[in-house]
Amino acid sequence: MILALDVGNTNITCGVFDGETIRASFRITTKMPRTSDEYAMIIMTLLEKNEVSVPEIHDAIICSVVPNIMHSLQNALIKYFNIKPIIVGVGIKTGIRIATSNPQQIGADRIVDAVAAYELYGGPVIVIDFGTATTYDMVDASVPYLAMLFRACHPLPTAICHHLTEEHTVRADRFRLKPWASPSQPCKV
C-alpha cells in the first residue's frame, strides 16, 4: 500500500491507497515544531485505528507547501517505515509539462491537482484549488501542460508571511482582496 501525505498550511491530509482503493484517510494538524518521532507515532497510531499495519505500507509520497516540517516528516517515514518517500516538486516526472517562466514558483499542491484532474477528466481541464490562496490552473488536451492562469492576490504579502510564520496558516478574513482588472495583466499586490 502507498501512504500519500498532502502537507498544507493547516492540515496534513493522509491517505492509504491499496491500488486505486482508498483504505484509510485521516488528518493531522500542521503544527511546528514536531520531531520525526512525534510524526511517526501520530501516523502509526492513526494507521492502527484505521486497521492498517505499518508493514503493509511499502511506499510513500509527500506533496508539501510547508518546507519547515519536511525534514522531520521525511525522517519519520525513513526511520519508522523504512521508506524513502517520493517528494513532489518541480522536476518530478508526471507526464505534464509546467509551462511558466519560473516553474520553481509552482507549488507541489498545484502539480498534484493538475495531474489528478488530467487523470480523472482528461484535458482541457481547469483546476480550482480553494486553499489558503485560491489558485486557477489549466491543463491542455494535446500535449498535457500546466499553465498557471491566475491566483487570488493579497495586498499585504509581508503580513501574510508574518502570519504564516506565527500561526502557520492565513485566515482569509484578515486580508482584503483586490479585483483583478484583466486576465491578460499580471497579478499585482
Residues marked as catalytic:
109
DSSP 45-60: HHHHHTT--GGG--EE
What is d(CA 139, CA 96) in angstroms, rounded to the nearest whole number?
8
* Residue environment code for 52-69, b if the CB has 16+ CB neighbours within 10 A, otherwise e: beeeebeebbbbbbbeeb
- In which region does residue 179 sit, left (phi positive, over 0), alpha (psi from -120 to 50) or beta (all else)? beta
Q: Tell me which amino acid residue 27 is.
A: R
Q: Are 44 and 102 in contact (CB under 8 A)?
A: no
Read off the DSSP letter of residue 133: S
What is d(CA 175, CA 120) in angstroms, rounded to the nearest whole number?
34
Residue 107 in grid coordinates: 507549488
Residue that is written with C-alpha cell 507549488 in the block:
107
